[in-house]
Structure 1
Amino acid sequence: MNWTAIGAIYRFEMARFFRTLMQSFISPVISTSLYFVVFGAAIGSRIDQVEGVSYGAFIVPGLIMLSVITQAISNASFGIYFPKFIGTMYELLSAPISFLEIVLGFVGAAATKALFIGVVILGTAALFVDVTIQHPVAMVAFLLLTCTSFALLGFIIGIWAGNFEQLQLVPLLVVTPLIFLGGAFYSISMLPEIWQTVALFNPVVYLISGFRWSFYGLADVPVGLSLLAIAAFTALCLGVIWWIFRTGWRIRA
C-alpha cells in the first residue's frame, strides 16, 4: 500500500477544504439554525412530542444525516470530477498507484469533510435542544459508515458526470428527495399504513432510523436491518468503483 500517495491526495483535497474553512463552518451552522426556526418553531409548536421525544430533538439525527449525505456526495464528486475536467486524471492513472489508493485518498478526504460537518451540526443543535446519545458507539459507527458510503457514491457520480450540470443532477433530483421522504423530519409510523409500506422501499429510511436509534432508542425498522442496508450499499458502491477502474469507463476516454 502506497501510503505516501494516499496521503498526498488526501492532503491536497483537505487543503481545498481548509481554504474555505469559514464558509464550510458558517454555512451548516446557519442552515441548521434555519431548520430549527422553521421546523422547530413552526411545526414543533403543533407537534409537541414524537414517541416521547420533543420534536426539536427528534429531528436532530435527520438534520445531521441530511447534511452529511449531501456534503459527502458533493465533496467526493467534485474532487474526482475536477481532475477529469482539467486533464490531470491521466497523471493519476499513469502514476505508480493502484485504483484502491486513489479511491482511499479522494473518498477519505470527502468522508472527513462530511464528518466535520456532522459534528458541527450536532454541536449547533445542542444549543437549541437537549440532545441525548444513548448508544454513542453505534452513533459513531452509523456516522462513519454513512460518510464513507455516500462519499463512494459521490466518487461514482463524479466519474459519470460529463459536465457540472450532471454533477448536481443525482444529488438534487434523487438523493435529496429520498432524504426528505426518508423520515428525516417525521417518524414513518406517523404515515398511513400504505405509505409506511412504500417508505420501506426508500433506502435512506434505514440509515435515518438506525442513526436516530443511536440517539433515543427509537427506530422505524430493526437496527440490524439498518446496519445490513448500509453495509450492502457500501459493498455495492465498492463493486461499481472496482468495475469502473477495471474497464476504464469514463476515465480513459
Structure 2
Amino acid sequence: MNLHAMRAIYMFEMARTWRTLLQSIIAPVISTSLYFVVFGAAIGNRITEIDGISYGAFIVPGLIMLSLLTQSISNASFGIYFPKFSGTIYELLSAPVSYVEITISYVGAAATKSIILAIIILITAEFFVPLQIDHPIWMVSFLVLTAVTFSLFGFIIGIWADGFEKLQLVPLLIVTPLTFLGGSFYSINMLPPFWQTVTLFNPVVYLVSGFRWSFYGIADVNVWVSLAMTLLFLAMCLALVAWIFRTGYRLKN
C-alpha cells in the first residue's frame, strides 16, 4: 500500500480545511448554536421534556447528526469533484496509487473534518444544556461510522456531479429534509401510528435514534437495528464506489 501517496492526498485535503476555516468550521458551529437558541426558546418553553430528558438536551444528538451528515457529504463531494473540474484527476488516476488508496485518502480526510466539527459542536452544546453520555463507546462508534458512511456517499456524489450546482442538489433536496424529518427535533413516538410507520422508511431515523441512545439510553428504534441499517448503507456505498472505479464511470470519459 502506497502510504506516502495516501498521506499526501489526506494532508492536502486537511490543509484545505484550515485555509477555509470560516466556512468549514466556524459557520456550521454558529448555525448549530442558533438552533439551540431558537429551538430552546421557541419550542423548549412548550415542550419541557421528552422521555424524561429536557428538550434542549434531547435535540443535541439530532443537531450533531444534522451537521455530521451535511458536512461529510459536502467535504467528500467537493474533495473529489475539484480534481475532476481542474483535470488533475487524470494525473491521479495514472499515478501509482490504487483506487482503494484514493478512496481511503479522500473519504478519510472528509470523515476526519466532519468528526472534528461534531466534537466542537458537542463541546459548544455544553454551554447551552446539561449533557450526559451513557454509552461513550457507542457514541464514538456511531459518530465514526456515520462520518465514514456519508463521506463515501459524498464521494459518490462528487464523481456523479458534472457541475457545481449538482454538488448541492442531493444534500439540499434529499439529505437535509430527511434529517429534519428523521426525529432530530422530536421523537417519532409523538407521531400518529400511520406516520410512525412511514417515518421508518427514512434511513436517517436509524442514525439519529442510535446516536441519541448512546447519550441518554432512549431510542425510537432498537439500537441493533440502527447499527444494522447503518452498516447496510455503508456496504451499499462501498459496492457503488467499487463499481465506479471498475467501470470508470464519470472518471475516464
TM-score (norm 1): 0.99
Work out the CA distance in 1 between the residues paired with 2:12 and 2:200.
40
Structure 1 unaligned regions, length at least 5 = none
Structure 2 unaligned regions, length at least 5 = none
The aligned residue for residue 251 of structure 2 is: 251
CA drift of 1:25 comes to: 3.1
Partner SS state of residue 234, structure 1: helix
CA drift of 1:100 comes to: 0.3
The aligned residue for residue 138 of structure 2 is: 138
Residue type of the alignment partner of 1:181: L
1:28–1:120 CA contact under 8 A, matched in 2: no
The aligned residue for residue 236 of structure 2 is: 236
Residue type of the alignment partner of 2:25: F
Residues 177-210 of structure 1 show CA distances to partners (whole Å, capped at 9, x for unaligned) of 1000000000000001100000000000000000
Partner SS state of residue 246, structure 1: helix
CA drift of 1:94 comes to: 0.2
Partner SS state of residue 128, structure 1: coil
Work out the CA distance in 2 between the residues paired with 1:130 and 1:249.
48
The aligned residue for residue 173 of structure 2 is: 173
Work out the CA distance in 2 between the residues paired with 1:51 and 1:178.
23
The aligned residue for residue 74 of structure 1 is: 74
CA drift of 1:38 comes to: 1.0
Residue type of the alignment partner of 1:245: F
The aligned residue for residue 56 of structure 2 is: 56
Across the aligned residues of Structure 1 and Structure 2, the Cα RMSD in angstroms comes to: 0.7
The sequence identity of aligned pairs, in percent, is 68
Residues 74-118 of structure 1 show CA distances to partners (whole Å, capped at 9, x for unaligned) of 000000000000000000110011100000110000000000110
CA drift of 1:24 comes to: 2.9
Work out the CA distance in 2 between the residues paired with 1:252 and 1:162.
13
Work out the CA distance in 2 between the residues paired with 1:166 and 1:30.
25
1:68–1:117 CA contact under 8 A, matched in 2: yes
Residue type of the alignment partner of 2:184: A
The aligned residue for residue 45 of structure 2 is: 45
Work out the CA distance in 1 between the residues paired with 2:248 and 2:16.
27
- Structure 2 residue 14 is matched with structure 1 residue 14: yes
The aligned residue for residue 208 of structure 2 is: 208
Residues 189-232 of structure 1 show CA distances to partners (whole Å, capped at 9, x for unaligned) of 00011000000000000000000000000100100000001111
The aligned residue for residue 164 of structure 2 is: 164
Residue type of the alignment partner of 1:101: E
